[in-house]
Amino acid sequence: MDEMDLMKKLRDVPSPSPEAYDNARAALRTAMAEPVNTVVRPKRWFSWTRAGIAAVGAAAVAVAVVMGTTGGTVPTSPTAPAVAAPQEVESPLLKLASEVKAAGMPGDSSLIIRSSLAPDKSTYVFYTVYTDKGQRFQGDSPKSLKESAAKGEDASTDYDRKLMAAARLAATGDLEQAKRDMVNAAGCCWALGGTPAEQEKAWAEGLERRAEIFRMKGMEVPPAKPRPTGKELEDAINNTLWSNSTYALFIGAANADIRAGVLKLLATIKDVTIEKAELDGQQVLKLIAVPPVSSGEGAHVVTVDAGNGLPIRSEVVPDKGAQDPHSVANYKSSRVNLADIVAGRI
C-alpha cells in the first residue's frame, strides 16, 4: 500500500518530482490511515528530467489527502518543548513575513536544492527552478537542470500556479480569500467559501474520485462518509492548508512574496506550534504540525531560517520510536536569473 503502486497505475502521467511523491504518500497515508513516513525513492526513479504532476495525478493526490481520516497522538518535540502558536496577531510568523516582504528580491527565479537520503544511504540531490512567471524546470544534477531550462521543458502545473497565486495574495491582499484559494487550489472536495449545496456537491465528487483511486489500486472502496463538521472539518481543512502551503514554500521560497504569503497563511493554523531553536549554529524556527493537522501518527516539522524564513529542513518525527533518516529532506534556496541557469552558471 504505497504511492508507487498508484503511480504505476497512472502510466500516462509524467513522472512526478520528489515533492509530488511526498504529497502522494501524504495523500494515501490520510486516505487509508497509513502511518506517517516520508517516501524515499531509489535513484533510478529520479532520472526523468521532464518530471511533472499531470492533472490526473494532482487530482488523485488532492482528493486522497482530504477524504481520509486523521488521528494520532501528539509527539514529544525533538528538542525543547514547543509552545502553542499564539493568536495570529501575535505569531512570530507574521513579524517574519513583514520583514521578508520588505526585503529586496533580485533575480527572476527561485532555485531550490533538495537533498535527501536514498535507500543505499547515499545522498540524493534534486534541483528545481521556479520562475516568477510560473515556469518550473528541474533535474537531478546541475547539468540536467541546465538542459531542462535550455529546452524550455516547463514542468509546472495549474496546481503550482494556483498555489503561488494564493501565496502572493496572502502577502499583499485579502488573507481570508488567499486561504480559501490555497485550500481550493487542487479542486478537491471542500469548496471553501461556497454555498452549502456547492460544498456537498464537491464532497460527493471528491468521494467518487477517491473511490477511483482505490479501484485503480485494485483495492476495496471504503464506505462513503458524510462531509465532516465542527472540529473534524476544521482539522481536515487545516491539513489541506498546511500541505498546500508548505509545498508552495518548498518550490518557490526564494520569491519573497511567496515566502511571506506562506508564512502568513501558516500563522492562521492555531494547532501548528512554533519553536525557537538552533541548527548548526543558525537560529531557526521549527513549525510543528502534529495530528490531526499532519494526518498521521507523528509530527511534520518544517524548519525555517529565523532571519529570512527560507526553508532549511522538512522531516517526520514519530511520536514514539526512532526517526527514519529517510524521512528528512534538507533545502537550500536562493534567488537566481533563469538566463544563468540556461548558461550553466549554477
pLDDT tens sequence across 258-309: 999 999 999 999 999 999 999 999 999 999 999 999 987 799 999 999 999 9
Q: What does each C-alpha distance from 125 to 37, 42, 140, 271 come to in angstroms?
A: 19, 12, 6, 32
203-217: average pLDDT: 94
Residue 305 C-alpha cell reads as 531560517
Give the integer Cα–Cα distance in Å for 274 and 95.
13
Phi, psi of 313, deg, nearest 5: -150, 145
User: Is the model's pLDDT at 324 over the cut of 70?
Assistant: yes
User: Is the model's pLDDT at 57 over the cut of 50?
Assistant: no
Quote helix, strand, coil % in the chain, to nearest 5.
45, 20, 40
Residue 156's pLDDT is 95
Considering 75-84, 210-219, 320-329, the range whose residues carry the highest mean pLDDT is: 210-219
Instruction: Tell the burial category of 48 from Cβ atoms under 10 Å away from its Cβ (0-12, 13-18, 19+).
Output: middle
Placement of cell 518535540 in the chain: 77
Residue pair 245/82 in contact (Cβ under 8 Å)? The answer is no
Nearest C-alpha neighbor of 66 from the set 302, 268, 292, 337:
292
Read off the pLDDT band of 64 (50, 70, 90).
low
